[in-house]
């Protein structure tokens, strides 16, 4: 009798739990792991299916953070993103984007897939947009993080399903780190020579 009850309880739990929902992860991937002071730091955002099959998404709210002592956020570059999609730093109810682009070390990026055409997140990762920063000071590693929540009142990062309106299918969040260095004498000389050659070519 006891065994029968346990089996019945297990079956009931399985029925009420329903099938596991696949998720879409968000990842920051820097184009260059090491940059010079003064360089533009480009960090790409990817949506990644947590299964071998691609999954659809209609929108993303990505809360992110960086250290303004080492990086200044310049904006977004949507070159290469899906035609008709839009990414921006809008005014938000969580007081994260105090300006456009935000400058205080945290913000929220809002992304919309093309109207009526969800974006497919692949297992290898689907490019969403590029965050651009200016490198300010040398450091062995400065983080650019994706956060689950932030702001006041608190907001949440989300990935909205492409088939079921309003369904959040956010999986894991993966940030990135970037090393910022000061160019050595050889690098400075090379940069100066490149500038001189460019000037001579323009004069011709």
Residue 129: strand pairing partners: 45
Predicted confidence at residue 187, as pLDDT, reads: 57
CA dist 192 and 182 (Å) reads: 15
pLDDT digits (tens, 9 = 90+) for 31-68: 999 999 999 999 999 999 999 999 999 999 999 999 99
Predicted confidence at residue 185, as pLDDT, reads: 72
| CA 77 to centroid of chain Cα atoms | 12
Res. 18 pLDDT band, cuts 50 70 90:
very low
Listed ranges 13-22, 113-122, 189-198; the one with the highest mean pLDDT: 113-122
Domains present along the chain, CATH in parentheses: 19-192 (2.60.40.680)
CA 183-187-192 angle, 5° bins: 110
Give me the chain's average pLDDT, please.
Answer: 87
pLDDT greater than 60 at residue 160 = yes
Res. 196 pLDDT band, cuts 50 70 90:
very low
Res. 22 pLDDT band, cuts 50 70 90:
confident
CA dist 45 and 172 (Å) reads: 13
Predicted confidence at residue 186, as pLDDT, reads: 57
Predicted confidence at residue 77, as pLDDT, reads: 98
Predicted confidence at residue 108, as pLDDT, reads: 99
* Among candidate residues 154, 125, 104, the one with its CA nearest the CA of residue 46: 125
pLDDT digits (tens, 9 = 90+) for 110-152: 999 999 999 999 999 999 999 999 999 999 999 999 999 999 9
């Amino acid at each position: 009798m006891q065994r029968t009850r346990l089996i019945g309880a297990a079956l009931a739990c399985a029925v009420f739990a329903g099938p596991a929902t696949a998720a879409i992860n968000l990842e920051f991937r820097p184009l260059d792991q090491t940059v010079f002071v003064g360089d533009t730091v480009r960090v790409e955002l990817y949506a990644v299916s947590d299964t071998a099959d691609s999954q659809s998404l209609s929108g993303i709210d990505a809360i992110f953070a960086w250290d303004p002592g080492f990086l200044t956020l310049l904006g977004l570059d949507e070159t290469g993103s899906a035609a008709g999609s839009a990414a921006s730093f809008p005014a938000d109810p969580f007081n994260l984007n105090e300006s456009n682009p935000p400058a205080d070390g945290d913000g929220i990026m809002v992304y919309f897939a093309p109207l009526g055409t969800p974006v497919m997140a692949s297992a290898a990762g689907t490019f969403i947009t590029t965050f651009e920063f200016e490198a300010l000071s040398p450091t062995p590693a400065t983080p650019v993080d994706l956060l689950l929540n932030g702001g006041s009142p608190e907001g949440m990062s989300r990935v909205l399903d492409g088939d079921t309106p309003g369904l959040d299918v956010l999986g894991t969040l993966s940030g990135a780190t970037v090393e910022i260095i000061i160019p050595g004498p050889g690098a400075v000389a090379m940069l100066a020579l490149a500038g001189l050659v460019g000037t001579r070519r323009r004069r011709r």
